[in-house]
Structure 1
Amino acid sequence: MLYELLCGPMRPVYFSTIILVILLLMLVMTFRLFVNRRKKAYFSLSLSILVVMAQHILIISAGTDAPGTGNWTGYATILLKAVSFIFLNLGIYQMYNSSRTRQHVLTWSAVVIAVLLSLMYFLVDGFEGNPGQVVLLQNLGIELYMFLMLFLCHQWISPWVGQWNRYQLSLSFYFIYQLIHLADVFITGSAYPALAAAGSTFLVLYYMTLFLIVFERVVELLQAVYTKSITDALTGLYNRLYFMNRLKQYLSHEVPVTVIFTDIDNFKKLNDTQGHDKGDEALKKVALILRECVEEIGVAGRLGGEEMVVLVTDPEVHPGELAELIRKRIEAEAGVTVSVGYSKAKKGISPDALVKQADEAMYQAKTTGKNKVCKYMKQKQLNAGGHAG
């Protein structure tokens, strides 16, 4: 039963149906990208996938991928084979690059050449010979042209595709398919159904690999959009909205968290005397230290300006010791100093209140000498002789 399905007369229909399913999934992804991002590249890729689908719909309707002589369905099938390959690979290129006039000229030149070569389908229709020889001559130009297209894609497109190895693998699959297809049609005369089935299998692998390329690109773009929406562009730390949402989440589950609030000392003076580039460099260095210090025990964010915060989620970590470690590393490695304050969450406290407490502790450090760590203490405790540290 399986052998009959793969190698029988319905083989082209079976394999083209599989390919259509793969192409449909690709089309859904690329069209959604176009709707969400409105980039011309995704619209072009969607159109190219539709062209490939049209080719395989013709194969299914004809029931064969080796069209006979003298009919328009056969001509459209061999022409779409070349045109769909050109446009689909251009679409893969456009997912990673903006196409310029040069790329458009080369693409349409390749399409025009494919159309001219495909006209052999009708030019040799009156050729004196048996039908098999006529079919061979009809398809020969396009079949050899496909090898040229593979070489050009390897040379001109693969270096510009982010998933270089996967794209090279897809071209290898198509190359093997094309070799097997030529051997099946031009050498054995389609006498071995298993050989044709092997070729169709490699064609399916080609489209599956392209699907993985598109899928991986979609994931990359979604990750990039999400990361951009939750992080600060300059420092790479989480932005205020994301940090506060995370803090709210932990507090709602009564997790014993601590907020550490840092503020770079004399930051305005640094910007005024040495320039904003120097200030930005200091922000990046401080942010990197914060990320490294809390990589496995919490998250770090930037509230704005030179104010950066740490949410300590590991109850085993002593916040005062961590705050002092942060202060020492910044002083030694960032070329600036910071005033640091921290506050432990109490039951029922709101996210804004906890951050405000840490901010008040930082302000106490700032107004009592700078470059130091202070723990939040209620005003009545301070009045009673309590101390910070």
Structure 2
Amino acid sequence: MNSNPASLSDTLYGPAGSVYLYSLLIVIIFMTMLVSFRLLVTRRKIGYLSMIIALGLLVIQHIQMIVLAYSGALSPGEEYTSLLLKVLAFVMVNIGIYQLYNATKRRDFILYGFTFALTVCVSITYWSAHRWLVGNEELHTLLRPLGMDLFLFVLIFLCFMLVHPRIGQNGKYQTMLTVYFAAHAIHTVNVYLFDGKQGELRLLELTTPFLFYIVLFLFIVERVIEILQAIYTSSITDDLTKLYNRKYFDARVVQYVKSAVPVSVIFSDIDNFKKLNDTKGHHMGDKVLKQVARILTEETDESGICGRYGGEEMVILVKDPDTDPLELAERIRQRVEKETVVTVSMGCKKWRRRMSPASLIKGADKAMYEAKTTGKNKVVQG
């Protein structure tokens, strides 16, 4: 009857439990390494290389912990190596996360070098500082790692202050740091107050890192999603104006017309744009394009889809049946005349049954051409 509780206790607190938990951690770390390696190959960003190096150090450290679970103790040299790997891995993980969202500049390399040099200097306290702090050999052994453990708390605080405000996914990153702080605090309390013999704290010390590595894995996966979203967005939008490109706009017109939605198309063309480019330069031309695009976007809001059709031509697909395209075009024309140095000629066309998508767009284009050739700075309905 008592065999099951003993077995459970051995599994949770004994060497077998430690080996099992460390092995699971290694699996999670390897999965994160594979995703990082794939991103390194495709994106060639140094942040993924830093992440791979950090995760490799963590694998080595956890393998060492598996050996410790069976041997029961580490030699001073093995303990020092384990602590150094832990600190260096933490530094590299956070450098990698920072590099994913920021271009690495010369001053960054100087800061990285200083951090590594400081880490090495602090690690020397494992061999020297404790000899003049205390005179008891048992305390010597206990206090050897104290300098490095305290230094890790300092690094966590610095990451909160310096890295956290400069990256995306702030929530996940803050969760990672908080979990890491909790895990290290549990380790510190167990080692220095209970000599590592408190079973419940030891179990927490082993299990808490799971959350850290799971969030780190999700962080990398989320980065993949961000990249895919950025690639997709760039494939359907115009780089300068941030409006949808012609291919995407045409596809949406086809979609709505095939669904028999009573849409309208508004075609706009900036008046005398070539003259503006020739006299004021392309910089002014780009500025005007962005200003007009902003006005189109603000006026259409949720009632339509804006696109850049080519050059100085911009288009709107009005998908809200309650929005009058003629009134919308007139509001846009007035704002452009008032808020910019240019004017626009605009044409609009409402969809009618059996009208093809191409005919709808052509009708709006023809109405705009009529506005252009009959005085400019006006709206014509086709």
Verify: 1:288 aligned to 2:294, yes or no: yes
Q: Which moved more, 1:291-300 or 1:241-250?
A: 241-250
Distance 1:173 1:69 in 2: 26
TM-score, normalising length from structure 1?
0.80
Distance 1:251 1:74 in 2: 70
Alignment partner, residue 58 of structure 1 = 64
Asked if the contact 1:6–1:14 (Cα under 8 Å) also holds between the matched residues in 2, the reply is: no
The alignment partner of 1:310 has SS state of strand
Distance 1:199 1:104 in 2: 29
The alignment partner of 1:342 has SS state of strand
- Which of these residues, 304, 310, 316, is aligned with residue 310 of structure 1? 316
Asked if the contact 2:45–2:100 (Cα under 8 Å) also holds between the matched residues in 1, the reply is: no
- Which of these residues, 92, 113, 119, is aligned with residue 87 of structure 1? 92
- Which of these residues, 360, 363, 371, is aligned with residue 369 of structure 2? 363
Alignment partner, residue 257 of structure 2 = 251
Equivalent residue runs for 1:1-389 within 5 Å: 6-60=12-66, 62-63=68-69, 68-70=73-75, 76-99=81-104, 100=106, 101-110=109-118, 112-113=120-121, 116=124, 136=142, 139-164=145-170, 166-346=172-352, 350-376=356-382
Asked if the contact 1:69–1:134 (Cα under 8 Å) also holds between the matched residues in 2, the reply is: no
Q: CA-to-partner distance for each residue in 1:176-204, whole Å, 9 max, x for gaps?
A: 32222122122212332112223334433
Distance 1:135 1:49 in 2: 29
Asked if the contact 1:41–1:98 (Cα under 8 Å) also holds between the matched residues in 2, the reply is: no
Structure 1, unaligned runs of 5 or more: 377-389
Asked if the contact 1:82–1:114 (Cα under 8 Å) also holds between the matched residues in 2, the reply is: no
Distance 1:327 1:153 in 2: 50
Deviation at 1:321, TM superposition (A): 2.8
Q: Which moved more, 1:89-98 or 1:15-24?
A: 15-24
Distance 1:35 1:6 in 2: 40
Aligned sequence identity (%): 44
Q: CA-to-partner distance for each residue in 1:102-139, whole Å, 9 max, x for gaps?
A: 1342254245447656678xx9xxx9967xx6753554
Deviation at 1:287, TM superposition (A): 1.0
- What is the identity, as a one-letter code, of the residue corresponding to 1:357? G
Matched pairs, number: 368
Deviation at 1:221, TM superposition (A): 3.2
Asked if the contact 2:40–2:46 (Cα under 8 Å) also holds between the matched residues in 1, the reply is: yes
Q: Which moved more, 1:343-352 or 1:236-245?
A: 343-352
- What is the identity, as a one-letter code, of the residue corresponding to 2:159? C
Asked if the contact 2:46–2:96 (Cα under 8 Å) also holds between the matched residues in 1, the reply is: no
- What is the identity, as a one-letter code, of the residue corresponding to 1:37? R
Q: Which moved more, 1:153-162 or 1:228-237?
A: 153-162
Distance 1:188 1:24 in 2: 33
- What is the identity, as a one-letter code, of the residue corresponding to 2:245? N
Asked if the contact 1:79–1:118 (Cα under 8 Å) also holds between the matched residues in 2, the reply is: no
Distance 2:308 2:347 in 1: 15
Distance 1:80 1:252 in 2: 62
The alignment partner of 2:348 has SS state of strand
Distance 1:322 1:155 in 2: 48
Compared CA separation, residues 314 and 138, structure 1 to 2 (3 A) = same
Asked if the contact 1:13–1:63 (Cα under 8 Å) also holds between the matched residues in 2, the reply is: yes
Q: Which moved more, 1:48-57 or 1:291-300?
A: 48-57
The alignment partner of 1:300 has SS state of strand
Compared CA separation, residues 320 and 152, structure 1 to 2 (3 A) = closer
Deviation at 1:361, TM superposition (A): 1.2
Distance 1:282 1:349 in 2: 34
Distance 2:301 2:157 in 1: 46
The alignment partner of 1:235 has SS state of coil
Deviation at 1:262, TM superposition (A): 0.5
- What is the identity, as a one-letter code, of the residue corresponding to 1:228? S
Structure 2, unaligned runs of 5 or more: none
The alignment partner of 2:301 has SS state of coil
Compared CA separation, residues 314 and 21, structure 1 to 2 (3 A) = farther
Asked if the contact 1:67–1:77 (Cα under 8 Å) also holds between the matched residues in 2, the reply is: no
Compared CA separation, residues 334 and 14, structure 1 to 2 (3 A) = farther
Q: Which moved more, 1:280-289 or 1:25-34?
A: 25-34
Alignment partner, residue 386 of structure 1 = none
Distance 1:134 1:233 in 2: 63
Q: CA RMSD in A?
A: 3.4
Distance 1:139 1:87 in 2: 20
The alignment partner of 2:371 has SS state of helix
Asked if the contact 1:264–1:307 (Cα under 8 Å) also holds between the matched residues in 2, the reply is: yes
Distance 2:60 2:309 in 1: 53
